[in-house]
Every structure is written in C-alpha cells, then in structure tokens.
Amino acid sequence: MEEKAVMRRGFTMVEMLLSIMILAIMTIVSTMVFHTVVRNWTLATEMADNMQRVDYITAQVAYALRSAYFPTSGQASNADGFMLLDENERNEPELSDVITWTKLGNSIVGRNSRFAHSPHRVTLFVRSEKDADEDHPAGLIAQVIGEEKFRPEDFDEDDETNWDWFLLGPQVQGFNCRVLDKDEPFKSGMANWQDTWDNSNCIPRRVQLTFWMKPIDDDKEPYPIVRVLEIPLWDISQNPLKTDSTASGSGNKKTSGGTGGTGGGNAPGQGGGGRMLGPGGGRMPGPGGGRMPRPGGGRMPGPGGGGGMMR
C-alpha cells in the first residue's frame, strides 16, 4: 500500500519577527502604564502625608494666634501687640514675612515647655536654605522667649539659653502674612487685606497666612496653602478700656469704648527695648522699640521707632 506524503508547515521568519515586535510593543506599553500608575500612587501618598503635616502646622499656628495674650486692662502696649515685618510683599514662594505676638498656652511649645504656663513671645518666620546650617535648619521656625513683664531683673536676651527654637515644618519654603485693615476692614463687601501692620500695640482682627510648600516633584512649582484666622482678642486690643479718673467713690472706674491703639513709637513700650534673635542669625529687638532685622540679614526700623540697630 502506497504511503501518502505528509506535509508539515512551520512559521516563516517574517511571522516570527512580526510576533516578536508585537510582543515587545505590548511589553513596553504595559511597563509604561505600570510605571505611571506606581508613580502617581507614590505622589498621591506623599501628597496626602504632606497635607497631614501642613494641617498640623497650620493647626499649631492657628491655636497659637487664637491664644494671643492681651492684658485684661486693655492698656495698649507694644509688648503685648502684634508685629509684622513685611519681607514678602508680592507673596513669592522663596521669601518670608516675619510675625511676632504674645500668647498663652502650650500650642507650638508643648505642655512640658518652660513657657507653657506663662505668657511668652513667639516669632514666626521661614529660614531659607542659604541661611541654614547644621544647628539652624531650614523651614518654618517658631522662636519663643518669655514675655517681657514676667522676666527677672537680670534677664539677658543675648543669652541663647533663654530662647527656645521649634522647627514646625521643613517642607515650608516661603511665608506671607496679610492682616485685615484696622480702620477700614471691609471695602465694597470685600475684606481689605494689608501687607503692613503699623498698629503694633494691638492685635489684628483677622490674618491671612500663606505657606509656600516645597514641591513633591523636583520639576514642579511650589504650591501655596492659605488659611484665614480670626483672633478673638482683637476687640479688646483695638478698643482698650479707659480709666475714668473723675469718677467718684472708692477706686477708679473703667469704661470701655476707648480709641484703638496707635502704632509705632506712640505707644508706651515695656522695658528697655531688648532684642530677639533674627531669622538671619542677627538680633531682633523686643517690643519696646529698636530695629527688626530682615530674614536674610540687613536692617530696618522696627515698630518701636527707636533703640539700637540690629544686623
């Protein structure tokens, strides 16, 4: 019986090359999609973590501002007011304003701090990378010292052991503060924000804080986090109680409705115009007068209007 020939057919070279090419394209596309998904997931996780840190920072600053201290007598004093050094007029992400105020409580400092149970002065600013060193890291810094009226007679402000430093957020690279205008807080139904605060012996009604955060991706731009806070003691500081010396009877009578505090050197300062450590490593004067330094060094007149010159 004659056997039939069996023909066997395989893949040609062209078919093999075409299959390999299709497989390579699918592999490349799958790898790119997988890389994009993983990268976006990582960025989203880092963004979520960063936002949690931002919420913590803003919460601490909000509690500290809302815990602002002002004497119950309402006497206007630079030692108890709010000061703003406008170093970031255009709200740029690489620059920082400087604000300082007196507060109570353990916000920022912690419950175990030596300042937690007495009034203390807080100075808030951002130290840039160029001004940072091993002992003074870059980021959002809170500088704390005891309130002037509660210091001992032999207190030395030049002694750094009398200061506490707190790094609130190394992710913050810029800071801007605006305040609600004291005399005309609203215009045409809109908030009248100002970059300067000349009424250094009282507290603004509201502050707008902008924190410029470092980008998660190096090729991205810094992004802002904005918070608007109302300070409860603004009314008593802007409308201090007045002592009526003509009142009859025992003791003096205090009445409300006095005029708001005036700015600069017109207000009675406390103490001899001591100095605070400035963001650029120099010295910043106390609320009683003197000069406040710029964050990167340099000089500028402070709200007190007089006193020594700091670098």
pLDDT of 21-47, one tens digit each?
999 999 999 999 999 999 889 888 888
Alpha-helical regions (H) of 12-158:
13-66
* pLDDT number for residue 69: 84
- Between 78 and 181, the higher pLDDT residue: 181
- 160-165 contact pairs (CB < 8 A, 24+): 160/277, 163/276, 163/277, 164/109, 164/113, 164/114, 164/115, 165/136, 165/141
- E-assigned strand segments in 149-244: 164-169, 172-180, 186-187, 190-191, 193-194, 206-213, 223-230, 242-244
- Between 100 and 10, the higher pLDDT residue: 100
Model confidence, pTM: 0.69
- Between 125 and 154, the higher pLDDT residue: 125
Q: Give the confidence band of 160 by pLDDT, cuts at 50, 70, 90.
A: confident
* pLDDT number for residue 241: 62
> What are the φ and ψ backbone dihedral angles of 17, each rounded to 5 degrees?
-65, -40
pLDDT tens-digit series, residues 41-70? 988 888 888 888 888 888 899 999 999 887
pLDDT tens-digit series, residues 165-224? 999 999 899 999 999 999 999 999 999 999 999 887 788 999 999 999 988 877 888 989
* pLDDT number for residue 81: 81
* pLDDT number for residue 74: 52
Assess contact for 195 and 178: CB atoms under 8 A. Answer: yes
What are the beta bridge partners of residue 255?
A: 242
Mean pLDDT, all residues of the chain:
76
pLDDT tens-digit series, residues 222-255? 989 899 999 988 888 887 665 444 444 444 444 4
Q: Give the confidence band of 153 by pLDDT, cuts at 50, 70, 90.
A: confident
* pLDDT number for residue 128: 92
Assess contact for 148 and 274: CB atoms under 8 A. Answer: yes
Which residue from 294, 292, 288, 287 is spatially nearest to 302, judged by alpha carbons?
292
Residue 159's Cα: distance from chain center in Å? 25
Domains in the chain: boundaries = 47-301
> What are the φ and ψ backbone dihedral angles of 14, each rounded to 5 degrees?
-65, -45
Across 94-113, b (16+ Cβ under 10 Å) vs e yields ebbbbbbbbbbbbbbbeeee
Sheet holding 206-213, edge to edge: 193-194, 172-180, 206-213, 223-230
Q: Give the confidence band of 20 by pLDDT, cuts at 50, 70, 90.
A: very high
